[in-house]
Amino acid sequence: CLCQSAGDHATLLGIYYAYKRVPKDQRKMWCESNAVNPSQMLKAEDVMTQLGAILNEHSDEELLSTMVRRSPNLAGNGAALHRKRRRESEKDASGDDETSELLKGQTSGMVKLRDFELIRRALCYGFSLNAAFYNAKIGNYQTVVGQQVVHLHPSSVLFYQRKKPALVVFNSVVRTTRRYMKDVSVVQEEWLRDAASFLRPVA
C-alpha cells in the first residue's frame, strides 16, 4: 500500500518516489495500475525540479538553520542537528518508517533534505494557523484557532486510521454539511509551539 500513516503529504511524496523508481517506458502502465493520473505526475516532476533548483542555491546548513529553530541544549552546526533529527525520527513509532525507507537511497539531486520529519516541521510552520487537535470528549477534531469542530475528509489517508493522531495541520477546509479538513499531516505539539508560541492546543 502506498498510504503513509504520517498523513496525506507523506503519502503523496511516497507515490512520487514509487513512480520515479519505475522505468520511464513503464510509468504510464504503472499509473494505470495504481489509479494515478500520469499528467499530474509530470506536473509533480516539474515542481520537484523547481524546488531542487531552489535548494541547490543554499547549503544544507543554511536551510536547516532557517527551518528548524536551534535548541540551546544542542551543540554543533546544522548538519549535526540533521543527524540528530534523523536518529530521533528512526526511533519514532508514529508510522514514519515506511516513508523514511522511501526517502533513503534516493540519489536524485532534486531533493537535498530527505528527512520527512523536516518536511512535516516545515508544514507545521507554514500552516500553524491551520492546526487542529483531537478532542476525545467529543470524538472529533477542533481547530486550535477558534475551536471549530472539523472532520477528516474521507479522501485523507488518516480518515481510515482507528487511532486518530493527537495533532494535525491541514491545507484547507471544505464545507458541505460539515467542515472537512483536506491535505492533512500529523505534527507534534512542540513543533507547533516553536512555529507559533501563542497557540496552545487544548487537551
The bridge status of strand 140-143 relative to strand 179-186 is unpaired
Give residue 100's pLDDT.
Answer: 41
Q: What is the pLDDT of residues 129-164, one digit of tens each?
A: 999 999 999 999 999 999 999 999 999 999 988 899
Give residue 4's pLDDT.
Answer: 78
Give residue 30's pLDDT.
Answer: 96
Segments making up each domain of the chain, as ranges: 1-58+110-202
Q: What is the pTM of this model?
A: 0.70
Q: What is the pLDDT of residues 36-52, one digit of tens each?
A: 999 999 999 999 889 88
Mean pLDDT by 10 residues, the chain (203 residues): 80 89 95 94 92 77 56 40 50 43 40 62 92 94 95 94 94 94 94 80 56
